[in-house]
Structure 1
Amino acid sequence: MQIRTFLHTFLLAGLTCLAMQAGAQGQCPKISCDCMKLPVEPWQSICANYEKKIKQACAKNGGEPTTYCALHGPDATPLPLALSIPSVEVIPVENIAETNRRIASMYWSVRTDVDLAVEQVEKGQHVRAQQIIKVVEANIQNLFENQHQVVVSWVSYEEEKNAIKAWRDYSSDTEEMGGYIEKRAADLWKRFEQAEDETVKKVNRVLSHKLLRLAGEVYEQAAYAYDGGVQYEESAKVWSKAASLTKLLIEQKQSLGSSQQGIEYFRYQAAARLHRASYEWLMEEQMRDAKNSLQESQPYMKEPRSVDPLLVEDEE
């Protein structure tokens, strides 16, 4: 009798839990942490537990997410990443070569415009510099959209090898472009530190941070391309580079007196980039590196202790 009562209670609890999960899912379609794409089960479970928690908070908030996914798969949402995957149309196969030529010229254009923006700052043409940075931002998006269009087109023509080759062709060039933008951001930050005039200091600081964020976005695009080219180790390393830029941005903002609230988004972004690095290390079957990236993310997570079970030494 006691066993039957226990089983009845257990089943009721399970059904209640499932109903709550279904309710949260139905009320919060904007949340999907893509947990099943994580290649190992313990990571899937930790991801799913946190997803359930933020869906419940979302349901209480009228169906609007209150925070981001933590540990996540590659198609998760919402995430505090700059990367935006565009919707693109398939182009005729005979137009792919021309699109690739346009992509090559766009790399040159972005670098040239970044240099021009820095030159305008040095000349005191601050409004003009800001206008150019907006053009750079748009061109970075257009560049990635064109790349994505080429790959989607190859896939639609069942040319998987060409799709992988395209991502491999783009990945290293994109990473190099991110490094160049990072360098120019550092140049402006140095000018900020050396300037005495408050207006000059402010412009250099603002534009340095803008370029730093753009460099991080470009690194995200490069990491995505490395993943598409089945180069998981390279992808993991570039995700870590992107996280390093976010951490630098946090440090600089803190040195200027920014509040915790003012840097909260960047903390989540640093964690998300490191979580993506850990995912890529898992894809490469490098568990130790995956754990190292995960551990590095903990100071920036909302609930850092939630991933502790994944860091135990006997898991490998």
Structure 2
Amino acid sequence: MPTNNKTYFLGIDGGGSKCKAIIVSEDNKVLGTGVSGPANPIHGFEQATHSITESALLALDDAKLDDVKLCDLVAGVGLAGVNLPVLFEQMSAWQHPFRAMFLTTDLLIACLGAHQGQDGAVMISGTGSCGFSYVDETPFIVGAHGFPHGDKGSGAWIGLQATKNVLLSLDGLIAPTSLSEDILNHTQAKDAVSLVEAIAGKPATYYAKLASYVFKRANEGDAIAKAIILEGAQYLSQVAKRLSQQNPPRISIIGGLSSFIVPWLEQDVQASLSEPVFPPEMGSVLFAQQQLANATH
């Protein structure tokens, strides 16, 4: 136990590619941060728990709190994948090393962080995409169906559309554009067969890396790139309007593509957006604080 009897909070944002951790004081000052590997339990319970623990240890080390150990931390843990009941139960049963652990979805912590623990809605456009609102303690999800069957307007979806269009151009069905050249150079492919070989079986993160080419060419006026971005942005605009029907006080867009996609959204949607206040890992801390307060009353 810390010699000063203070409570320290751990905030975890665990996704499919990395796990972010922060150590926060009682007055919400961030003392340390840490990043480790994937923490979506759908890809393995052992991997997820290892990443959570490792990122927490890294954050503790960064905070330089010599008298504080994992067993002293009140942890808020937001994870991708635990919207599936079987994974939520599995993670809830984990013999974790913390003083207490409050588990929830990555969507809820993103929303709580963006709106400082208050009601609101978020659109997420990163490797994947979805919409989520939390109003009057009622969660509401749009999308979140995963890649490749969902995640429209995400980096992975944009990259996949780019490769599909390049294949059409290589077959002589549509005219090639500058985007075609970018994708072929990136994949080191010379024809349709070698392109398919290069992209076959690749995960969402691979396709998401192609999105930067599409945005670059779209901004230069490339017809195919513009069509892809406009289709993705139109979908996200529809998501925003669906979320608005839940009457959230605020709506924000977060994720690695957010700053790139916003200018392509419908004007009224752009005007309705508020800047997110905190990142998702702070949302985990706010969630833990709320749950701890509820448990002690």
TM superposition score normalised by structure 1: 0.24
Greater RCO, 1 or 2 (C-alpha within 8 Å, sep 6+): 2
TM superposition score normalised by structure 2: 0.25
Which protein is bigger by CA-based radius of gyration?
1
Higher strand share: 2
